[in-house]
């Protein structure tokens, strides 16, 4: 990419299936019976994770009423939901844009697989160029949105005159398991379904507003409360942030703490209670290495867009850097309203930041850190400037 050009996040649009379901309703009407013999299961499911509502493509109260289906129907449900949500988010970020400029389309997911995938059908439906380069990032977990971002940045570095679409879609509800354990009580009380699409392009210089030939329609500003759901009426939220640096690291000897394995009856997620303490210990050094050479310190980062893998993960990062309640609010509210939606969640938190209270939204010149965690134990982050 020419020295005077910078890759930039231009707009984001998010969506989720169906109406939100209250956490207490899901417990009372389905999971209470599943985890009846697990001590403290209700506290783990309803209270400890701070999730109040979630969107689920497969409502367990009906989808699993007659038993647990095999993998095939689960993956079919993922594919159809991925198409449905992509049809809601992608046209929004492309509104007012020249679609012939889109040269690369990156799709990210950890909850399904098909070949050809939903990305192939969406390219055709969107009327994108027949030579658009498709990249599918599969099964990397909750940090994968930032893996997709790195793929998008590589595409822009090679072809700065083009634009890139990035879509993350997760349908975790398709993978309910019948295991009555404390770990699965945590898992099934935490995860939700959602999709987010981002448009990226190269812009001039490292200062000044990011602008395109046609403004991206922007959602009305206002507090991002529960009524401000992930589907903003097919309207994208403008971002306008240059990507200055990215970094990825794996904490050695931690692979057993988080994993996803495919079994005959569906995907199985393992979550260790040690994860928050591992993140608390590893992130300060990680951020120092990310910022090396930028002249910045963590204190210069005004906005922290954290993947809300759970309340203890948000607390761990907040404690490590002395973050304020306001800085943690987008992540906490995202967890409250949507649960952990795997790779999508950090983008839901970004959208929440961009449409939050006027005093908390980014101002020109503000720095932000997007950071997510997943199997490995892997940390991914991107430093951006508005």
pLDDT, position 216: 39
User: How does 160-179 read in b/e, with b if 16+ C-beta sit within 10 Å?
Assistant: bebbbbbbbbbbbbbbbbee
CATH fold, domain 5-204, is: Peroxisomal Thiolase; Chain A, domain 1 (3.40.47)
- Binning pLDDT at 50, 70 and 90, where does residue 227 land? very low
User: How does 356-383 read in b/e, with b if 16+ C-beta sit within 10 Å?
Assistant: beeebebeeeebbbbbbbbbbbbbbbbb
Q: Which residue has tokens 């392009």?
A: 201
Nearest alpha carbon to residue 74 among 113, 34, 38? 113
- Binning pLDDT at 50, 70 and 90, where does residue 267 land? confident
Mean of the per-residue pLDDT values for the chain? 89
Cα(366)–Cα(348) distance, integer angstroms: 19
Q: Name, of 2-6, 17-21, 208-212, the range with top average pLDDT.
A: 17-21
pLDDT, position 256: 76
Q: What is the pTM of this model?
A: 0.91
Domain ranges of the chain: 5-204, 241-385
pLDDT, tens digit, for every residue of 129-171? 999 999 999 989 999 999 999 999 999 999 999 999 999 999 9
Distances (CA, A) of 239 to 56, 90, 221, 246, 364: 27, 15, 13, 18, 11
Nearest alpha carbon to residue 380 among 239, 300, 282, 257? 282
CATH class of 241-385: alpha beta
pLDDT higher than threshold 50 for residue 211: no
CB contact at 8 A, 343 and 193: no
pLDDT higher than threshold 50 for residue 213: no
- Altogether, the residues listed in the chain come to a count of 386
- Binning pLDDT at 50, 70 and 90, where does residue 207 land? low
Could you tell me what percent of the chain has a pLDDT over 70? 89
Q: What's the distance, Cα to Cα, between the start and end of the chain in Å? A: 19
Nearest alpha carbon to residue 46 among 30, 67, 64, 68? 30
Dihedral class, residue 342 (left if φ above 0, else alpha if ψ from -120 to 50, else beta): left
Q: What is the DSSP string of 224-284?
A: --TTS-SB-TT-PEEEEEEEEEEEEEE-TT-GGGEEEEEETTEEEEEE-TTHHHHHHHHHH
Q: Do domains 5-204 and 241-385 have the same CATH topology?
A: yes
pLDDT higher than threshold 60 for residue 219: no
């Amino acid at each position: 990419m020419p020295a005077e050009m910078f890759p930039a996040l231009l707009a984001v649009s998010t969506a989720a299936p169906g109406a939100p379901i209250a956490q207490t309703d899901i417990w009372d009407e389905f999971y209470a019976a599943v985890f009846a013999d697990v001590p403290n299961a209700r506290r783990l499911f309803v209270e400890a994770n701070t999730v109040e509502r979630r969107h689920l493509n497969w409502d367990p109260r009906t989808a699993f009423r007659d038993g647990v289906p095999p993998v095939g129907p689960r993956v079919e449900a993922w594919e159809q939901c991925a198409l449905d949500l992509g049809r809601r988010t992608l046209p929004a970020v492309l509104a007012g844009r020249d679609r012939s400029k889109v040269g690369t389309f990156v799709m990210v997911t950890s909850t399904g697989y098909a070949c050809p995938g939903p990305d192939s059908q969406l390219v055709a439906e969107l009327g994108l160029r027949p030579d658009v380069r498709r990249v599918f990032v599969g099964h990397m977990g909750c940090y994968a949105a930032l893996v997709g971002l790195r793929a998008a940045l590589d595409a822009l570095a090679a072809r700065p005159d083009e634009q890139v679409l990035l879509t993350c879609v997760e349908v975790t509800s398709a993978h309910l398991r019948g295991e009555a354990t404390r770990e699965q009580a945590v898992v099934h009380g935490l995860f939700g379904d959602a999709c987010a699409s981002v448009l990226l392009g190269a812009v001039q210089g490292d200062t000044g507003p990011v602008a395109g030939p046609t403004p991206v329609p922007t959602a009305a500003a206002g507090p991002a409360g529960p009524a401000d759901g992930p589907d903003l009426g097919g309207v994208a939220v403008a971002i306008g942030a240059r990507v200055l640096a990215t970094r990825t690291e794996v904490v050695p000897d931690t692979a057993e703490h988080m994993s996803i394995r495919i079994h005959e009856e569906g995907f199985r997620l393992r979550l260790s209670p040690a994860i928050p303490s591992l993140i608390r210990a590893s992130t300060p050094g990680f951020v120092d290495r990310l910022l090396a050479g930028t002249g910045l310190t963590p204190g210069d980062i005004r906005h922290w867009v954290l993947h809300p893998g759970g309340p203890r993960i948000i607390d761990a990062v907040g404690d490590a850097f002395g973050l304020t309640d306001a800085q943690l609010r987008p992540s906490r509210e995202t967890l409250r309203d949507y649960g952990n939606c795997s790779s999508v969640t950090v983008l839901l938190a970004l959208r929440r930041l961009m449409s939050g209270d006027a005093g908390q939204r980014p101002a020109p010149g503000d720095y932000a850190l997007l950071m997510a965690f997943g199997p490995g134990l892997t940390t991914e982050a991107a430093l951006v400037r508005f």
